[in-house]
Chain A
């Protein structure tokens, strides 16, 4: 099992460009998440999908859109990148959105994005 995979690993964009970050999991998990991590800020939830067919905003959704393409895949799109979106982006998945048994999240290796 590959677990959670993310592509690309690194990306440099110019202000105003768009891009999509891809995430896939092979653990048959129901819930998937996108976070950003900035120095001194910890992980902040951008969007999440509690189950296939649903998506909800997290703490910092502005400037982003998501698509839960199927149970395995959850993509994050930046329509018009801004320097403030320079960050490390992590995708995660969990069996269920809650509970000690199902709420454990498994993370991908991250995408390091720089917006110039």
Chain B
């Protein structure tokens, strides 16, 4: 079982819709959480860090549920330009005191007119 799991989608939604993605993680020693966005054939770029209390940035809201070991990303009022793959990243404290980032496989979002 992969340590970080995401529904690959694609999520196909009309402009203006609200869409939510979840990302589950298996390691309770997970320490930091992020959402990245990746456009086709480009490098990933940070979308949001995920704070314990949840955080919002414009149309985007990220939540962390430590008890159930998942993070979520909510996109309101979807735009065509939101079409991309959304990757969740979990940083896990490994043995020896190192910290290892683990990416989910990504969720594909397609926003259509």
Contacts and interface: CB of A to CB of B under 8 A. Distances in A.
A109 interface: yes
A43 interface: yes
Interface in A99-116: 99-100, 103-110
A56 B98 contact: yes
Given A41-B105, A56-B98, A97-B99, A108 B43 contact: yes
Given A40-B105, A98-B31, A98-B32, A58 B49 contact: no
Interface of B: 8, 31-32, 34, 42-46, 49-51, 87, 89, 91, 93, 98-106
27 contacts: A35-B103, A40-B105, A41-B105, A42-B87, A42-B103, A42-B104, A42-B105, A43-B44, A43-B87, A45-B102, A45-B103, A48-B101, A58-B100, A90-B43, A97-B98, A97-B99, A98-B31, A98-B93, A100-B49, A103-B49, A103-B101, A105-B44, A105-B46, A105-B101, A106-B46, A107-B43, A109-B42
